[in-house]
Structure 1
Amino acid sequence: MLFKNTKYKRLIIKMIQGEASPEEQRIAEKWIASSPANRKIFENYKGLLLLTGKKQVSYDTDKAWARLQQRIASADHSASPVHPISKRRRQIVKYASVSGIAAMLLLAIGLFTILNQKPEILQFTSTESVSGQFLLPDGSSAILNAHSSVNYPEWFAGHTREISIFGEAFFEISHDAGKPFIVHASGLDIRVVGTSFAVEADPGADFVKVIVNTGKVLVYPSGLDPEKAAVSGRLLEAGEMATYSRESGQIVKGVNDNLNFLSWKTGILIFKETRLSEVFKALESKYRVSFISGNPDLLNQRLTARFEKESLDQVLETLSLIFNAEFEIQESKVLVR
C-alpha cells in the first residue's frame, strides 16, 4: 500500500532504520497508533526494509519489471510434478502469485522513490500578529513575530537540518547530536544541536541579532565549512548574544541585558529606570513599528513600568500621560512630539 503523506513515510523509514531522533520517533509512533491502516503501512515498509537487509533500499525499476514479466511468462509453463491441477485453479494460482509479486514490486518502487526524492521547500509566514507555535519536521518548534517567515524542507534530508528565517523568531530545537540544526539568517548561520534561542534578521536591516535562552549555539558568516566556522565563529551560551554586521561581516559577542528580548512572544514589557530611547526600541521590536522623535529631550527621560498584553495604543496613551507627550500612529510609524 502506498500513501501520500511523505512526511510520515520518511519518519517511519528513519525509525525502522534506527536513525530517528526521540522526538521523531514519538511523532511516528503516534501516527502509527492512530489507525489500523497506518499500522499496516508501517508493517509493510518494515517488512520490505528488513527483507533487503540494507540501511538504504536501492531498486532498479527496469530490471524489476523485466523480472516480473519473466515470472509471469514462466507461470504459463509451470506444472505440478505430483498432482495435476485444473486449468481454472492453475490460472488462480498464477494470478495470485503475479498479484503478490506486483504488490511487493510496487511497494519497493514506492520506497525507492521516497528515499531518493528531494524534499519540497515550504514556507510558514506570520502576518499582522505573532504566530502560534508550529512544529518543524523533526519536532523542533518555532514562534514567529509579526511580518516574519521561515523556509523549511518537507523533511530533513542528509546530515543536517537547515532552515532560513526572514524577520524575528524564537526557536526550541530538538536534540540530535548526529544531525545539527542550522538556521540561515541573512548572511549569518546559527548552528545548534539542541537549545532555544531568538533570532532577529529583518530584511533590509543593518544587523542580525541572536540571543541564546538555553543551551549553546555557534554563529558564523554564511558559507563557511565546519572547520572554518569553528575558528571564525562565536560560541554563545545561555544569557549571551551576538550582533552580526551585514556591511562589515563582523560578529560582536556580548551579554544580553535586554529584559524584553522576548516581549513580542510573551506580551510582557518591563522597564526599570529605562531611557525612553531604549523604551522606544523595545516597543519597535514588540509592535513592529518605528518611532520618529522630534523631541530630543524626551528621549533622555526615564521610565519604570510594566506592560502586559496592552495594545500599542494603550501603551502610548500611558506614556502620553506620564511625559506630557503626543504620539501619532501613521501606518507602521509612530511620530513623537
Structure 2
Amino acid sequence: MQIAALARRAPRILTAHFLIAEDASLHSSSHCRSFRTFSLQNGSFAEIGHSNGCGLQYQWPHTASFCSAPADVDDTVKELYDKILKSIKVERSAPQNAWLWSLCEKCKSREDIKLLFDVLEQLRIFRLSNLRIHDNFNCSLCQEVAKACVQAGAVDYGKKALCRHNVYGLTPTIGSANQLLSYAKAQKDVKLMVGIMNHLRKNNLPLQPGTADIVFSICYDADNWELISKYSKRFVKAGVKLRKTTFDIWMEFASKRGDLESLWKIEELRSDMYKQHTIKSGFCCAKGFLLEQKPDSAASVIQAINQSFPDSKRQDIVDELQKLVTEWPAEVLKHQKMEDQKAFISSLKADIPALLSSLSNMGVKSSVNLEDLNITEPVSC
C-alpha cells in the first residue's frame, strides 16, 4: 500500500525509503605551483608560489609554501614579529614563510592579533614595492589568520579578513567566514552571526551548505524563528543545496512551533533535494500529522522509519519517539494561542495514545510509557 495516500498536504513524505543521512563535508583543496622572480637583495632567485585561483604569495628558496604547515619555531609572537620586520625593513629580503605561519599559530591575545595584522600590512607593502606582486596572499594563509583571530577571541579583526578590499592582502573566503561563524555558535552570539552574514553579502562571498548548517544551528539555539526564516530564503535563493542535517534543524524548529504551513513547505523543499529521509526529518513529519490530528498517518511514518533503518539505529528511533511523547507536546504548547490551548491539549492526549496503539498493532515495539505524557492544562488568568 502506498503510504503517500495517507497525507493530503504532503504527498511525497512517505514515498521514499527512510534511510540515514550521511552528509559528506565539502572539502576544498588547492594545488600550489610556482614560478621564479629575481631577488632585489642579492641577485639570486626566489620562488614565488601561488594557490590556483587564490592569488600569489612569496616564497624564499629554502622555506615551505603557504600551502604547507608551519615549521616549528620557538620564538614568541613579538620575537617573530621583530624578525619579519627586520627582514623586510632592514635586510630588504623576503622573510621565511614559517615565521608568519608560526606567528598565526601562536596568537593567544588581542595584542598578538594586532601585531599579526600590522605585519601583514607591512608584508603587503613589501610585496608591492619590492617583489611587484599585486595579488593577495594565498587562501590557506588567510584562513589561518581567521583561525588565529578566533583562537585569540579577536573576531572583529577576523571580520577584516572577509572584506574584499583590505590593506592586509587577505583574500576573503567562505572557509574563513565559517570559522568565525563557528565561534559565534560556540559563544551563542546571534549579533556576531548577523554581522558576519552582512559581511558575506557586502563582499559577494558565495554561500555554502556548511555555512547554512552553522547559521541554522545558531538560530535554532537562540529560538529565533524570524531569523532562520530570513536566512533560509537567502540560502534557497542562492541555490545552495542544503544538507540533510540542515533540513533536520529547520523542520524540527517548525514542528516545535506547531507551524504546519512552514513544516510542509520545508518538507517539499527537502523532498526535491533528497529522496531519503533522516530519522529526525521523518519524526518531524510524524509530528506534523499529529498536529493535523492524524495519528494513524504519524504511526505509518514511524513504522516506515523503523523498517528502513538498521538495528544499529534502533536506539535513535526509540529516543526520538520518547522525545515526541515527553518533550515535544510541552514545547509546541508554548506556541499555541491561549484560547486554543485547551482544545490542543485534548487532541494530543487522545492522538498520542492512538499513535502508540497503532504502532503496537503494526508490530512496532515501544518502551514509551504514557505516564510520561505530562501536559499541563493552561492556567486561567
TM superposition score normalised by structure 2: 0.27
Q: Which has the higher contact order (CA 8 A, sep 6+)?
A: 2
Write 1 or 2 for the structure with the bigger share of helix.
2
Of structures 1 and 2, the larger Rg is shown by: 1
